[in-house]
Amino acid sequence: MTRLLIIEDDAATARELQAGLGARGYETGLAGSVEAAEPLVAEGGWDALIVDRMLPGRDGLGFVRALRERDETVPVLILTALGTVDDRIQGLRAGGDDYLVKPFALGELVARIEALLRRPAMGVRPVLRAGAVELDLIARTARRGGRDLELLPREFQLLEYFMRREGQVVTPAMLLRDVWNYNFELRSNLVDVQLGRLRRKLDRQGETKLITNVRGVGFVFRADS
Amino acid sequence: MFAAWASSFVRIPRGVWRSAARFGALVALLLALGVGAVFGVTYWVTTRALFRSIDGAVTEQLELLAERPPEMLPFMITSRLQHQPAVLTQVALFAADGSLIVGDIERMPAGLRFDSRPRILSVPTAEGGMVRLDVAARTLAGGRHLVVARDVEDLLVFRATLTRILLLALAACVGLGMAAGTAYAVRGQARLRRLGATAERIMLGALGERLEVRQRRDAMDELSIVVNRILDRLERLVEAWKNAGENIAHDLRTPLTALRAQLERLRDGGRLEERDLVTVAGSLRAIDSIRALTTRLLRIAEIEHDGRRRAFTEVDMAGLLSEIGEDFTPLAEDAGIALRVEADAPAVVRGDRELLAEAVINLTENAIKYAGHGRHVVLEAKRSAGRVVVAVSDDGPGIAPADREQVLRRFYRARASQGVPGSGLGLALVASIAGHHGFELRLRDNAPGCRVELVCPVREATV
């Protein structure tokens, strides 16, 4: 069972996080401050830490920085109510692996945690394969079965991102940040529209849908057998 | 030191020189009037006194001799010539026909008037030259003419020299006054320009900067000190305001997180009717739009009050527009809109690439949202002398002229657009990004439709 330590001072938020994550099959621990968290972290056995940035007493960023100075490699997801660009940069510099702005959908939190737990294999393989889909990263060509896929550059990047995270839930916010490099929110449904185009090129009639929606959260890529 | 001072003048624009030269001319004029008055009085007093005393001597001599008995006169003149040869005045007695009886004036000068009044006449000399004499004459009983003269050639030369010297000195004073006045005005204006430049930087967000105050405290320094105090206070207020904004966002977002999670738990619990599920979904959307609003507000605050120009690099707006055009073409097509990019490659400006992308994307999203089915949206980057103009235009309903100013303000949404969802902060965000870069944001009538321009000044070297 995956064990997550939540370090959050707001009791209501902490309770809801514990309830929501518990319902999704995670085991959770809770600390209301950095002081309370330290002995728990020292015990070890956590798969990931969820750290609120602003905590009473010692602040969450300092805690993460100290953690990294001790060469603790446990993945850290920072929660913040601020969410400006500078703020995010500070969080990542301190050693956070990801950064989530409050309020967030629980599904988004879970997707981010899963992404942290299964850091994609960023190997230097020149060809990615998932089922019948083949992506040649050097020639920038894509095939499904024996069929060439005519992908625009952005569609190619999208498909590559999904294939590297096979079976993992990907949220629109993750796509905007990692594929488009936009660290700001859009008002339009750009992601949905682009993904729709990719899907139409990917799936012919009668073929399995490779990228499916996860209701209220995002999308997942599953290779056909 | 002087070289630095002089070279600082080289960069001064012509407008400054012109107004400084006007000030210099005024100084020169006043100086000329003052110095001219002093010189005039000196000249008048000196030359008048000299000529008066000579006139006096000549008249006195004439009167003295005229009073002597006529038969004694030739003898007196002769003995005077014999005994006082070094005396400055010349005396002669002419017969009625003009021939010399006795005296040291060879010939009766032409133009002589016999009214005892001294006047200056040019008289030929024995050597063939001319000499100027102060001459007085009168006719005695029996028709004889008594003439008294004094050589004033040296004196006249002196007077001419004095005049030249005074005029030269006056010219020098005028020149010096002009130069000093201009230099003073240029320095004053150069200082004003420096103050202006600092104020400009402060306006663009460098709230930590202060106006220069010199050791010599003149009125301008006193003013700078007051302005600096205002800036100190302003900086503290902005800091407090920024903190308050962040605190509000924080305080708002934390309970929203709990609220959102509760609603999600309710939704996923499986005990709600379909009708309740719709309500919960609506609540979740409302929470997300509050979140988007606070994010955007914080973003505007961050851009406007974070004076640091982080990550300014050379950004090719043509390349950026092509990328954005490519990304948004499918979105536009779905809305039944033709999206086109017209860019002069390269159109390089200095800026923060991500912020500029955010601005253009905002404008593009707006155009696609408001233009309407069957319309066109054009992304443009045009380079011209000293600037790059980036424009996003559409041929949709456009913005009424009365609404244009308002549209840039936070939250405001034009009346005609009510009914289309959105927080209305889009253009305000673009305006603050433009302000952060020192770019000008213009709203134009595209007849029909709306045209939003970002006017980016560029230094020629970067083009």
Which of A15, A20, A186 faces B264 most closely, judged by CB atoms? A20
Phi, psi of B280 (to 5 degrees): -65, -40
pLDDT score recorded for residue B66: 85
Q: Is A197 on the interface with B (CB under 8 A)?
A: yes
Q: What are the residues facing A164 on neighbouring strands?
A: none
Cis peptide before B85 (omega within 30 of 0): no
pLDDT score recorded for residue B299: 75
pLDDT score recorded for residue B420: 45
Residues of chain A positioned with their CB less than 8 A from the CB of B249: 81-83
Q: Is B259 on the interface with A (CB under 8 A)?
A: yes
pLDDT score recorded for residue A118: 82
Residue of A nearest to B252 (CA): A81
Determine the residue among A151, A193, A197 to mutate to test chain B binding: the one whose Cβ has the most chain B Cβ atoms within 10 Å: A193
The interface predicted TM-score of the complex, written ipTM, equals: 0.79
| DSSP state, residue A33 | S
Strand locations in B125-274, DSSP E?
Answer: 130-139, 145-151
Determine the residue among A15, A82, A93 to mutate to test chain B binding: the one whose Cβ has the most chain B Cβ atoms within 10 Å: A82
The 3-state secondary structure of A48-74, one letter per residue: EEEEECCCCCCCHHHHHHHHHHCCCCC
Pick the most confident of A191-195, B40-44, B294-298: A191-195
Question: pLDDT higher for B401 or B271?
Answer: B271
Parallel/antiparallel/unpaired status of strands B145-151 and B130-139: antiparallel
Mean pLDDT of B27-46: 89
Residue of B nearest to A104 (CA): B257
Count H helices and E strands in chain A, helices first: 8, 12
Q: Give the dihedral sign, CA B326/B390/B299/B262.
A: negative
Statement: residue B415 has pLDDT above 50? no
| DSSP state, residue B204 | T
Q: Is A192 on the interface with B (CB under 8 A)?
A: no
| DSSP state, residue B233 | H
How confident is residue B307, by pLDDT bands cut at 50, 70 and 90?
Answer: low
Which of B250, B260, B268 faces A82 most closely, judged by CB atoms? B250
Q: Give the dihedral sign, CA B244/B250/B256/B260.
A: positive
Residues A98-133 pLDDT 10s = 888 888 888 899 999 988 888 655 566 788 888 889
Distance CA B36, CA A161 (A): 89
Distance of CA B274 to the CA centre of its chain: 73
Q: Is the pTM of this model over 0.80?
A: no
Q: Is A57 on the interface with B (CB under 8 A)?
A: no
Q: Do B354 and A23 touch (CB under 8 A)?
A: no
- The contacts of residue B359 (CB under 8 Å, 6+ apart) are B429, B430, B433, B434, B454
DSSP B80-109: HHHH-TT-SEEEEEE-TTS-EEEES--SPP
Q: Is A180 on the interface with B (CB under 8 A)?
A: yes
Determine the residue among A16, A17, A156 to mutate to test chain B binding: the one whose Cβ has the most chain B Cβ atoms within 10 Å: A16
Which of B284, B334, B357 faces A193 most closely, judged by CB atoms? B334
**What distance, in Å, lies between the first and last C-alpha atoms of chain A?**
27
pLDDT score recorded for residue B416: 43
Distance CA B180, CA B1 (A): 18
Q: What residues 404-423 of chain B have any CB closer than 8 A to a CB of chain A?
A: 422
Written as one letter, the residue type at B397 is P
Statement: residue A75 has pLDDT above 80? yes
Mean pLDDT of A164-192: 89
Q: Is B295 on the interface with A (CB under 8 A)?
A: yes
Residues B281-294 pLDDT 10s = 999 988 888 887 77
Determine the residue among B254, B278, B294, B304 to mutate to test chain A binding: the one whose Cβ has the most chain A Cβ atoms within 10 Å: B254
Mean pLDDT (chain B, rounded): 83
Tokens of B167: 């005029």
Residues of chain A positioned with their CB less than 8 A from the CB of B285: none
Mean pLDDT of A130-149: 90
Q: Do B257 and A82 touch (CB under 8 A)?
A: no
pLDDT score recorded for residue B3: 47
How many CA atoms lie less than 13 Å away from A102 in the CB half-sphere? 30
Q: Do B250 and A81 touch (CB under 8 A)?
A: yes
Q: Which long-range contacts (CB under 8 A, 24 or more apart) does A33-41 make?
A: A33/A7, A33/A9, A33/A57, A33/A58, A34/A7, A34/A58, A34/A59, A34/A60, A34/A62, A34/A63, A37/A5, A37/A7, A37/A63, A38/A63, A40/A5, A41/A5, A41/A67, A41/A72, A41/A74
A197-211, B353-367, B391-405: which range is least confident on average?
Answer: B391-405
Distance CA B140, CA B62 (A): 11
Task: Return the residue matching tokens 């305006």.
Answer: B431
How confident is residue B305, by pLDDT bands cut at 50, 70 and 90?
Answer: low
Residues B90-128 pLDDT 10s = 888 888 888 888 888 888 888 888 888 898 888 887 777
